[in-house]
Amino acid sequence: MKSIVLSSVVTALLVFTGCADKEPVIDDSASSRNVQEVKDVNTETVSSDNSMVNSSDNSSNTASMSDIEGKIPSIYFGFDKFSITSSMASDISTGVSVANSVASDFNVKLEGNCDEWGSDEYNFALGLKRANAVKKALVSEGVNANRISMVSYGESNPTCSDKTQECWSKNRRVDFKLLP
């Protein structure tokens, strides 16, 4: 039995190794027919006067967007809540008036945020519920729903990191960001 297995292994090795004495053949005639010369690359310098992107235009547009965002207050929520309180109604009205007048050329992104209490999954869901509540309030007062997008940052975007009630209440909010 051992001799059969040993002879089978030796035969298999001889069959699979084969003869490796042959040199590979390279056809030089075919490769010489397809050779092309590479030309030098032309470079061109664009002056700042002719560029399509002008830094002064971008900075004024960015500054105006950030100035407008500064006029829209954040909406704050109670612990584990996503309903808008009557004290936040005036801030919603301010957001509506800015969105429909000065920021009418921009889209609005609502960023839902939470404090550090609760699991990550729960806080992401709660942040989205808060952003959706603000969206519904904006739409009910006349902002076009197609201009509004929502995102939830959960507890990952705090404005304050102290371990106090006051700090945690600052993190339970929806921020307004403008998009071009």
Domains and CATH numbers, the chain: 64-179 (3.30.1330.60)
Dihedral of alpha carbons 34, 35, 37, 43, sign: positive
pLDDT of amino acid 53: 45
pLDDT of amino acid 151: 94
Structure tokens at 75: 């909406």
Each residue's pLDDT, cut to its tens digit, for the chain (180 residues) gives 778 888 888 787 766 666 556 665 666 655 555 555 656 656 555 555 544 444 444 444 444 788 888 888 999 999 999 999 888 888 999 989 888 888 888 899 999 999 999 899 999 999 999 999 999 999 999 999 999 999 999 999 889 889 899 999 999 999 999 998
pLDDT of amino acid 34: 55
Chain-centre distance of CA 98, in angstroms? 25
Residue 140, classed as helix, strand or coil, is helix
pLDDT of amino acid 75: 94
pLDDT of amino acid 123: 93
Closest Cα to residue 99, out of 85, 89, 109, 112?
Answer: 109
- Residue 3's H or E segment, with its range, is helix 2-17
Closest Cα to residue 162, out of 171, 153, 154?
Answer: 171
Model confidence, pTM: 0.63
Distance CA 86, CA 67 (A): 26
- Using the CB atoms, write b or e for 38-63: b if 16+ within 10 Å: eeeeeeeeeeeeeeeeeeeeeeeeee
User: For residue 112, what are the contacts with CB-CB under 8 A and spacing of at least 6?
Assistant: 126, 127, 128, 129, 130, 131, 150, 151, 152, 153, 154, 174
pLDDT of amino acid 2: 79
